[in-house]
Structure 1
């Protein structure tokens, strides 16, 4: 009896010891998160044998393959100059036309392609350095025919370009006649090739290539979890994993399946958009949505608000992360789904090892095959969650939930803030500093809207609707701001300030407009946006007769300080117009379009 009691006490003590101190588990999880960049580095090095964070610089497609066409007699001559390290597939070369009265013969290659054992297409022939072939054309004398030339190539470093199409004009000689036995034979052999059908090449999908693409996509999706651009969203995944041990195993499985559905759904959505846009002639690739400034701004909003929610400053977006009252409720599954979707959106800028070649293969295949490959990519990315949910040994290794999780959750908000900062930098590169500033204003508006929404839950009666109206207005303002970031800033045609430049332009007989400004000067910014950048002043300042000089006094500049003092000023703005043979004209500090135009045109 004493032994049995002793065993029970030992068991209880072990449980208490295991549950009492969660700090070791916190340290373990944080160490794992901090080690992810190093793991990503190793993954890059093993696959590419290059710098982990830098991919090779690939040439634009029209520089990698310089295409020209010419006409010699009854032949259309097609030629490609191929850059070193790049090659073209012989069986991907096509010549088509919509003109049903024209037929073409077999390709006559200047030299045959070199055999290459391609990892996806099997044994194929490719061209290095140059490619050229003649296409016999059977047409009426003097007839003009518009052909479409198709081709596809890859780089030895691993990039495969999407199939390309270029026009080629053929003008038949006046003496050309579509007669004779040889022409009749050519017509019979190639009549089916005259309407958007490849004349040469075996485009059949090899089973080995397909299965290898599926496996590569799955491996790429798995490694994508280690890429630096996905690291911030791993905070959401880690938090959900930590809380998962406190729910029923069945619910854990359902949430993992919901997360997988979110990942796969977003991959398929992006893949469908990619296929449709490419079919419409757009030259786009993986991550194309991040080329849109409004989408980048929207992602800044989402990541920043999620960070605020994890930090506990606001209580919105919790259902999106599955951090609601109970992960056993329906909101937990919704949260898992949207966490998966968010992970895919943030993963857009990254291409993991194995992933690039799989996607390069996918975009060359029919839509059904492409979607299967993207599905495999999504399953690979979601596979860690599925493994933990369906393998009991992994699930049992998760830490016990407790009070430590609130601190852990707040710590995990900071990767989201850094991710928002990174996307804000991207936006600045796309639209300039003004675009960044507008989106920062939008972040303030959204935070204000979230704060009001939180306060409104404690009110009743008309007051609640008043605060909600303010919250909605702030949110609409933040979304409206995104439309202002769609166009990059226009580069001004201005000369830097220097006294010698003023004198030189005056000696050339030009009218000189000097704008002394500073970024911290509100009046200066109002004048520039409301008057100087608007018609007709902007057009006049850009004309050949006017030289526009801007003096930037944002930082201390003794030369500009002396120039200000010469007009009795010790601050900005200062606007001066020099006309040939006249004294300088000092404009008022608050500009109007009429005042500027009168000074520039000599009407004052």
Structure 2
């Protein structure tokens, strides 16, 4: 009995500290109720609150005011809320998770207004906040025909630039995270990861994993190939998540620091070494003592050591895939604003696993299809040796001149063509496989010759090596003015007399080069860009000035495009994150012209 009484007394003594701990865990008002506002058109403003879990806002506590005095606000349009039984105020209509309120505006010719919103909310712990006052400076769109015609093509509730174009995909993904629904976050980001697998920032991982599995040799089985693939993907996913969370808290994409000559060169050298081991050069040319060491190292990197496979996946995520796509940008934006590393990290991990699923499928299929021994296995190893050489060239592409890239591709292609028998006659009675091998060899030889001729003739595009020889009337290249600091940018924006496009670019960003090669070169896009002031922030060096430019516009890395009106003010909600096709980019430009005049 005495022991029971003592236990009850201890529990009662612990209650006040527990309550105090609960109060200490309360979020600050601006984090519990995240405020934002935007002008949907010249007569409508939308106010939005992202509400943290365990918190709610009262419907009848909202108050709205606007400046200047010539601006009149109409009756707010509230969505339907939830009825909450309040012990002090009785039944109250409240909002959880999110609330969007629309305000009719009569601006009387004013182009800008200052909106002031008063709100009040409480926490489920029983603590209510004092009324909070927040404000936003908004630019009202004109009622010009060009803009309205464009906006009519969009959804009824999504008639702002933020919803019309893919430029705000990062905001949409951040909105998914703000919903707080774990199953939705996992599903959406897993699906986004599946789609990202087929982008140039991730595709090089397929031959890397394939080379590791082929390096298993005779001991490879479907089960072992699956385990090797899972180990590789796990290393990739954990690293991707860790780097993403660190980038969100620091404001910088840490993989950008790895995009330099020494790191990329060392990583490429690893793949060259693996490729040479696939070709058997170690056995033919190196002393036995060196051969044993290199063979052991190759085996460890080829899957014999699980830790080495995980490490290779981690290095691939950090070095091969440094670009920022919309899902990644959305997750980083959410983590950076809310400091919710758990939910944001879950999203990043789900996206990385989605990126890894096709890799696992490729690995398992190789484990089932690869021959165990004999001439076929020798040929397969040499094939993946060529792929590993291609990956090595791909890795160092950002830090070597285009002409050198083309000559390297020429060497790999010509060598592959010769190896496949392109210059040898087909013997009598040759099999169909032998004839196919020669045909592929001839194609590789011709492609390599085209790369070499193009490089020597002044071409600088490996995708179109002979374009310069046959072009009749090449278009004048787009003229980008380089801005190196915030001061340079501000000075240039002050003198702008037309719409401005600021392009964040880096030599190591594959998606940036995609935009240049496929989107900016499109005739319609090229013509529209000629009507704008084009600025470029080259953040290749990842210097302090580069980081400051990225931080101002809440970007974590390239590619990213920000638009400004003729007065040098940013057009809110209209951004391009990641690669956009010419068709989508033209829609972004149409909005930039409509809103930037």
TM range (shorter): 0.3 to 0.5
Work out which of the two has the higher radius of gyration on C-alpha atoms and give 1 or 2.
1
The TM-score normalised by the length of structure 2 is 0.37
TM-score normalized by the length of structure 1 = 0.36
Q: Higher relative contact order at CA 8 Å, sep ≥6: structure 1 or structure 2?
A: 2
